[in-house]
Each structure stands twice: as C-alpha cells, then as structure tokens.
Amino acid sequence: MGLDSMLRGTMRINERGHLEIGGCDCVELAKEFGTPLYVFDELLIRENCRRYKKAFAQNYPAESRVCYAGKAFLTLAMCRLVDDEGLWLDVASGGELFTALQAKFPPERIYMHGNFKTEDELKAAVRNKIGRVVVDCMEELERLDSIAASQNAVAEILLRLTPGVEAHTHEYIRTGQIDTKFGFHIENGVAFEAVKKALSLKNLKLRGFHCHIGSQIFEIEPYRIAIEQMFSFAAMVRSETGFAMQELNLGGGLGVRYVPEDDPPSIEAFVAAICDWVKESASLLGFELPSLAIEPGRSIVGEAGTTLYTIGVVKEIPKVRTYVSVDGGMSDNPRPALYGARYFAVVANKASQTPNKIVTVAGKHCESDILIRDIALADPEPGDILAVFTTGAYHYSMASNYNRFPRPAVVFVRDGKAKLVVRRETYDDLLRCDQLVD
Ligand code: PLP
C-alpha cells in the first residue's frame, strides 16, 4: 500500500512523472504560485458534497440538511462553492459568519455554533436572520432571548446536547458525564432544564436538538448510541412538556484517509447507517421523522487538499536519521504538533519513482517542528517539490503567522486551470495591525 491508495479525485501521475491535480502539474503550480501552497481539487470537494446529498435522498424520506462545517476550511470562494452545491453552512464564530455573509451565502441556511458566543456574535446572528442558533448553555438562552426581543425577532434554535458518547477514530467511550465544555448534559438533568427554559422564553423558538460526538471517526457504531440517547431524551421531553422534536442535527465527524493504512467508512455507508438508526428510533418511539441534519467538515474538504512545499535542505545524520527540511511547517500545518497527526507525502516531481529513502520531514520553525516522521521518499533533494496529502481540513483554517511566516496562498484547481482563491500574505500583511509607539 502506498501512493496508489492516496490518489483521490482528479489526482494522477502525468506523462512527465509528476503529480497532477485537477489537470494541473504540481511542479508548474509551485512555479506559478510559489510554495508552500494549498492546492484544492475543486471537483473532489463538489463530488463529496453531492455524495452526501445523494445518500440522504436515497435513504431518508423526510427533509435532510447537509451543513458544511466551515471551521474545516472557509474562504469566500468556499462559501460560494457550498452555496452552489445547495448545502447549508455551519459557522462557529463572528468571523466565519462575516465571511459567509460577505460571500452572499444565504443567511437562512446558516447554523451558528460556539460554547461562548459573544453579545456581538449573537446580535449579528439575529440581525442577519440566520437559520438556526445552536444554543450551548443557560446564559446563552437568556442572552439570545433578550437580544431577539430587542430586535423584535424570534430566534429559531436547537439545543446542543451531550448524549454520553465520545468518539475518535477507532475508539469511543460511553459515559454519562463527559468532561466537556460543550452543550447541555442529558444525564445530569441540565438538558431537560434547558428545554423548559427555552420553551418559556418568548423570543426563542425551539426546533430540536443537536449533538456532535467527535472527529476523524472510523467506527460508526457510536452514532447509533448517540441517536438512541437523543431520541430517548426527546421522548421524555415530549411526555413531560408536550414538545415534539422537529429537527435533529448529528454534527460532523466522519474520518478521512491521511495515511494509506487509514480506512474510513464511505460517505454512503455512513449516511445509510445513520438514516436507518434515525428511522428505527423514530418508529420505535412514535416520532414523525425529524428534519435530519449533519455537519461534515473534514470529509468534504480533507482529502481534496494537498500542500506543496519546496525542499530546501537534506541533512543526513549517519546512523540516526535524515532530515528533509521544507519551506513551511507548523504555521501552515499545526496538526502534527497539536495531536501527533500522521501524513503521507510524495516528491511531486519524482512521483513515478520508487521511494528509496526513509526520511523525516521537518518544517522550518524554531521548534522541533516535525511534519512527517519516517516516510519513504524518492531520492529527495533541495529544489524538489514535496506534496503532503490530505491537508484540506483544519490546515488553512488553523494556519498562523508563527515566526512571522506569511500564510500560504490557496488555489482551486479544475480542468487544467488554477484559480487563486486566497493570495499569499506578504511581509507588509504581517505589519498591517502593528502600531509603532514611542
Ligand atoms: N460540528 C461541530 C459542532 C463541530 O464541533 C465539528 C468539529 O469539531 C464539526 C461539526 C465538524 O467535524 P468534522 O470536520 O470532523 O466533520
């Protein structure tokens, strides 16, 4: 297993033996736009959006909403694409909301998240009449109600619940008391208190419930547990208050392939399973099928993104290891440092050659800044272009200016054309907020 299993979407090795994405030779992209460079396969993003929508259309007879989780990667162009594909959008901050509105994303198709939404963020949500605010805590219920009242509006809300299951890749834990800052806990009664409060506030309209059980999930069983918990809570609420859940939002979480060994479920298998479980629970407990939403981020953009770097230094420490240093690092990809995340890469200009050297890819920041430990590359040399796969989600959106690195450019590639959707930052950009004081 190696490169073949990592070639997704429009990726291929072309006649020159170079990696090609969206009909564009990666070596030419690096020449034209410089490195580091985030390259997105536009057709693959669109295909992922369509696969989600189609899978719901085939498996769920009531309304469904695929809400792209903007935290994974959000720019004006991405908002346009998401709108174009008819998805909804989940934003988690005032800045993400601003980006969406500037891109003319229809506000009625926006969900707003956050464990602490500021007054200004809530005001913007109400003023712009966004589709749903996903309320996370008691304080927010009151705050949002009074903001809505002051604007003569009614805010439509979901309550974010903690259903007692937390999942990541192959592991999940089932517990009543998850230690998390997010949402209302079902187990300790706070969620029920929140429902009663929400129903009592005149300027809020409760539509249903939300949960998000984790990220980079390969095992879909935890969703079954979460769905059952959400329905059994909804049934208790219905019998105690008369309120019948109309909407259920199951958050994001489906995993993607970062390294050849990763084997996440397909979008189709994931959607079919959750639709089945929702239908089962609804019928068992006598609910009409709720409007069903999910919030995929990583599984829409993760595999569609590739980062191109220029190799600058190859340092062999005899009998220890060979370091290959590239012109980016933890400022464009903080995930290895944050979570020990693993990656796969290929020398883009030697993509048809057999990888013959085990090396460690290092960034150029003033930390150990390791991007990939122990990977086989084809004879890496200074000047080569290194392509690191699966960097579409939580890379550009988490990028920083650490060490005063300008953030890389972002291009969408399709049919042999590259569109610059975010220009590279300049040194002047680094100073745009600095003030000289005496
Ligand atoms: N929805 C919520 C509430 C989240 O917190 C997240 C990620 O943290 C997502 C959706 C997107 O998750 P993913 O990118 O794993 O699909």
Mean pLDDT, residues 81-85: 98
Q: pLDDT at position 1, please?
A: 61
| 352 and 238 within one domain | no
Ligand 1 pocket: which of 65, 82, 295, 391 to mutate (most atoms within 8 A of CB): 295
Ligand 1 centroid to residue 418 C-alpha, Å: 28
pLDDT of residue 228 exceeding 60: yes
Range in 27-31, 182-186, 429-433 the model is least confident about: 182-186
Q: What is the pLDDT of residue 179?
A: 78
Ligand 1 pocket residue status of 99, Cβ below 6 Å: no
State the residue for tokens 């073949």: 4
Are 282 and 388 within one domain?
no
CA of 313 to the centre of ligand 1 (A): 37
CA distance 245 to 247: 6
In a domain, 435, yes or no: no
Amino acid at 89: L
- Checking if the pLDDT of 381 tops 90, the result is yes
Based on DSSP, count helices (H) and strands (E) in the chain, helices before strands: 13, 24
Eight-class DSSP state of 402: G
CB of 70 closer than 6 A to ligand 1? no
DSSP readout, 9-46? TT-EE-TTS-EEETTEEHHHHHHHH-SSEEEEEHHHHH
pTM summary value: 0.97
Residues 114 and 191 placed together within one structural domain of the fold = yes
- CB contact at 8 A, 80 and 89: no
Atom of ligand 1 nearest to the CA of 393: 14
Region 9-15: what's the mean pLDDT? 98
Mean pLDDT calculated for residue range 161-186: 81
Give the number of domains in the chain: 2
33-75 pLDDT per residue, tens: 999 999 999 999 999 999 999 999 999 999 999 999 999 999 9
Q: What's the CA gap between 399 and 295, in Å, rounded? A: 22
295 CA to centre of ligand 1 in angstroms: 6
Say how many Å lie between the CA of residue 88 and the centre of ligand 1.
14
Rounded Cα distance between 12 and 416, Å, is 13
Question: Is 315 within a domain?
Answer: yes
Spell out where 144-279 has E strands. Answer: 155-162, 165-169, 171-174, 184-185, 204-210, 214-217, 247-249
Tokens of 377: 């590359």
The closest-lying atom of ligand 1 relative to the alpha carbon of residue 255 is 15
Evaluate whether residue 365 is within a structural domain: yes
User: Of 277, 311, 314, 309, whose CA–CA distance to 292 is shortest?
Assistant: 277
CA of 215 to the centre of ligand 1 (A): 6
Residue nearest to atom 12 of ligand 1 (CA): 252
Burial code (b: 16+ CB inside 10 Å, e: under 16) for 210-247 equals: bbbbbbbbbbbebbbbbbbbbbebbbebeeeeeeebbb
Q: Could you give the angle at the alpha carbon of 269 between the alpha carbons of 267 and 274, nearest 5°?
A: 95
Chain segment 333-375, per-residue pLDDT in tens: 999 999 899 999 999 999 999 999 999 999 999 888 999 999 9
Ligand 1 neighbour 210 (Cβ under 6 A): no
The answer to whether residue 119 sits within a structural domain is: yes
Residue 437 inside a domain? The answer is no
The predicted pLDDT at position 176 comes to 52
Q: Enumerate the active-site residues.
A: 366
Render pLDDT for 231-277 as a digit per residue (tens, 0 to 9).
Answer: 999 999 999 999 999 999 999 999 999 999 999 999 999 999 999 99
Residue 229 lies in a domain: yes
282 in the same domain as 240: yes
Q: Please check whether residues 120 and 181 belong to one and the same domain.
A: yes
Average pLDDT of the chain is 96
pLDDT at 177 over 60: no
pLDDT average, residue stretch 278-298: 98
Last residue of a domain, one of 248, 266, 298: 298
113 lines ligand 1 (CB under 6 A): yes
Same domain for 267 and 402, yes or no, is no
Is position 129 within any domain? yes
Q: What is the pLDDT of residue 49?
A: 99
Question: Is the CB of 296 inside a 6 Å radius of any atom of ligand 1?
Answer: yes
Range of the domain at 317: 3-34+304-430
The band of 27, judged by pLDDT with boundaries at 50, 70 and 90, is: very high
